[in-house]
Structure 1
Amino acid sequence: MIQTTAAVDCSMPVIVSVIVPAHNVELYIDHTLTSIRTQTVRSLEILVVDDASCDATARMAAAHASQDPRVRLIRMTENRGVCRARNEGLAAAHGRWIAFVDSDDWLEPGRLARMIEAAERMELDWLADDQFMVSRPNARPSGRVLRNEPAGLSRMDVAHLVVRDPPETVGYGTLKPLVRRSFLCRHQLEFRLGQERYEDFLFHVDCGLHGARMGLLNQPLYYYRRRSGSLTTVDPLTTLTRMLEQNAVAEHAACELGSVRLQAALARRANLIRSSLGYRRLLRDLGRREVSSALRALRADPQLGITLMDRLARAAGRRVRW
């Protein structure tokens, strides 16, 4: 099922293991791996987990491995999804710290060094930095993820992360943290299988529920590539339905561990997701000219009409200003 390129030299301590799950990303993987290989932290390993790509992804990753012994290619012989791929990377990791990088994103050269120094100074188990949202290298960023946070380094609990991850936005669930490997091993934490959409969100919640000392570094050192035609934009109803299902999984876990503050934050988030689902269904019915269905929805929830008018007004305002 799994093939790997080479054994690791365990005589050399590894400070950070960078896990890169990859599937059919031949257009992006070279830039991603180059940005990791040129990090100012030299004592690292780069674990590329190829999830049975059928393009040139594995071959390109193998080329990096042949040039740099810190790069290891782990090949899945059948496509099992990003959660399985990340878990295979976790099982193979030797570093004191774990970093996750998506195979179409990239890093500032000093990112890992800055995050490791900050996490160790504050004795954290989980630290996330800000992200620039971009469409391609050298493009002007369209935004950042962290909002209204203190400058520099600050502590955070998992309920705060949930509050800052509302539906239909790039929220804190997309953050790519640095995580202490000993913490993950102690609590036997990994990515939940079968949760391939918003798997990061559930992983963050699991870390927080198990007592991770969490922090934020309000500095954009990670470049998050926003690709057109993603499921989030093409099929918002499916996306929101999946988000609500995963929120319920997190609510169940919070209830089992008795985290009242987190339960409240997740309940509020669930209500926001339901509201967005109602709004999106109303738009679908109006687009299909299913007037009777739209009227039933408005009678059942008058707030939908207010939301519709508000969003239309805001959209018109943006067009006028532009």
Structure 2
Amino acid sequence: MNCQSKVSVIIPCHNAFRYIDSCLNSIVGQTYSNLEIILCDDASTDGSLTKLLEWQKKDARIIVLQNAENLYAAAARNKCIDVSTGDYLLIQDVDDISEPNRVETLLYHIQRNEIDFVSSGMKLIREDSDTVYGQDVNKKRFPTRYDFLWNLPLFHPATMFTRRSVASIGGYRIAPETRRGQDYDLFMRLYAAGYRGMNISDTLYLYRVGRENYKRRSFSARIGEMKIRYYGFKRMKILLIGMPFILKPLFAHVLRYFKLMLHKNEC
């Protein structure tokens, strides 16, 4: 592993005051120290910016950016990427936690396998505590474009990218449908451009599951995902075989509605 490689940690932040300390403690304490930690406060109203600036004073590797208005995560990430100088980009959500060896392990695999991005498995933690109650691991080590038909075959928040791959496609696409589906869109655009990634079984990322995760499953988000699937499958030249899968988000929403109605009637 080339220990001279700089890794830029990209963290968007919106109203996450109560999670900032645990998130940043997990990053500044990494076993790999050649980092720059770039956070973009996306017009928070809960004091997040003040706390981020306090952290900036404590660690010279931390850079804090600010949006005057809430532009959402994709735009905040692009702003971080624009000022980054690292050879690699590590994705981190501000309400999540990284294991101490996360950067070192991902960097080892991305360099050893000469690939463009690598995702680890995730431990699932609760909204109001750091208690682990489960884990999620993608079993396909080297996903192909056909693995995108059913679901996203890599965990976006648990991923490290080469900077050149993300920069070459212009970063995250900003559109109404990518407000929730930016990760699916990004990976499909990367695959369409010829870049490839891999999954490792190590669970290096603690992913917080709470009410916001369920709010994202709105009807408008499902329609947005259908658009992302259409354009993504078209770019990857699997549109013909992918046509039935474009409707999957709609079927999922209808099924979830009937499950909720059934539960309501049982109560």
Q: Structures share a fold, TM > 0.5?
A: yes
Q: Which has the higher contact order (CA 8 A, sep 6+)?
A: 2
Deviations 1:247-284 (A, max 9, x none): 22323433xxxx23xx3564343243232233345557
Aligned CA distance change for structure 1 residues 158 and 108 (closer, same or farther; 3 Å): farther
Instruction: State how far apart, in whole Å, the 1-side matches of 2:234 and 2:31 are.
Output: 41
Instruction: Classify the secondary structure of the residue corresponding to 1:75.
Output: strand
Task: For 1:193, give the aligned amino acid.
Answer: I
Give the structure 2 partner of residue 178 of structure 1.
Answer: 160
Aligned to 1:63: 54
The whole-number CA distance in structure 2 between the counterparts of 1:35 and 1:288 is 41
**Alignment-derived partner of residue 157 in structure 1:** 144
Change (3 A) 1:105 1:288: closer
**Aligned-pair identity (%):** 20
Code of the residue aligned with 1:155 in structure 2: it is F
Q: Does 1:128 align with 2:111?
A: no
Match of 2:245 in 1: 269
- Aligned counterpart, 2:195: 212
Match in the other structure for 2:231? 249
Measured against aligned partners, the alpha-carbon deviations of 1:154-174 in whole angstroms (never above 9, x if no partner) come to 433243244344xxxxx7454
Q: CA deviation at 1:201?
A: 1.1
Note if 1:20 corresponds to 2:11. Answer: yes
Question: Is contact 2:36-2:61 (8 Å) kept?
Answer: yes
Distance, in Å, in 1 between the alignment partners of 2:79 and 2:198 is 26
- Give the C-alpha shift of residue 126 in structure 1: 1.0
Is residue 36 of structure 1 aligned with residue 55 of structure 2? Answer: no
**Residue 157 of structure 1 aligns to which amino acid in structure 2?**
T
Instruction: Tell me: CA distance 1:175–1:138, structure 2 relative to 1, closer, same or farther (3 Å).
Output: closer
| 58-67 or 171-180, which deviates more | 171-180
Cα RMSD for the two superposed structures: 2.6
Partner residue, 1:140: 132
Rounded to whole Å, the distance in 2 between the matches of 1:78 and 1:276 is: 33
1:199-219 Cα distance to aligned partner (Å, 9 max, x none): 111111111111112111111
> Structure 1 pair 236/277, CA: closer, same or farther in 2 (3 Å)?
same
- TM-score normalised to the size of structure 2? 0.86
CA displacement at 1:242 relative to structure 2: 3.0
* Structure 1 residue 133, shift from structure 2 partner: 1.4
- The answer to whether the 8 Å contact 1:99/1:178 transfers is yes
Paired with 1:199 and 1:121, the residues of 2 have a C-alpha distance of 28
Alpha-carbon separation, structure 2, partners of 1:234 and 1:42: 34
8 Å contact kept, 1:15–1:95 = yes
Give the match's secondary structure for 1:48.
strand
Q: Give the counterpart letter for 2:173 in structure 1.
A: R
**Any conservation in 1 of the 2:222–2:249 contact (CA below 8 Å)?**
yes
Is structure 2 residue 174 aligned with structure 1 residue 193?
Answer: yes
What 5-or-longer segments of structure 2 have no aligned partner? none
Partner of 2:219: 237
Q: Distance between the aligned counterparts of 2:246 and 2:40, measured in 1? A: 33
Separation in 2, partners of 1:163, 1:62: 41
Judge conservation of contact 1:111–1:221 (CA < 8 Å) in 2. Answer: yes
CA–CA distance in structure 2, aligned partners of residues 265 and 222 of structure 1 = 33
The C-alpha deviation readout for 1:202-241, integer Å capped at 9, x for no partner, is 11111111111211111110111001x2263585434433
**Secondary structure of residue in 1 paired with 2:121:** strand
Q: Return the TM-score normalized by structure 1.
A: 0.73
* Alignment gaps of 5+ in structure 1: 1-12, 166-170, 290-311, 313-322
Residue 126 to residue 202, structure 1, CA distance change in 2 (3 Å): same
Given residue 147 of structure 2, which amino acid in structure 1 is its aligned partner? Answer: H
How far does residue 75 in structure 1 lie from its aligned partner after superposition?
A: 1.0
Q: SS at 1:203's partner residue?
A: helix
Q: Is the 8 A contact 1:129 1:175 kept in 2?
A: no
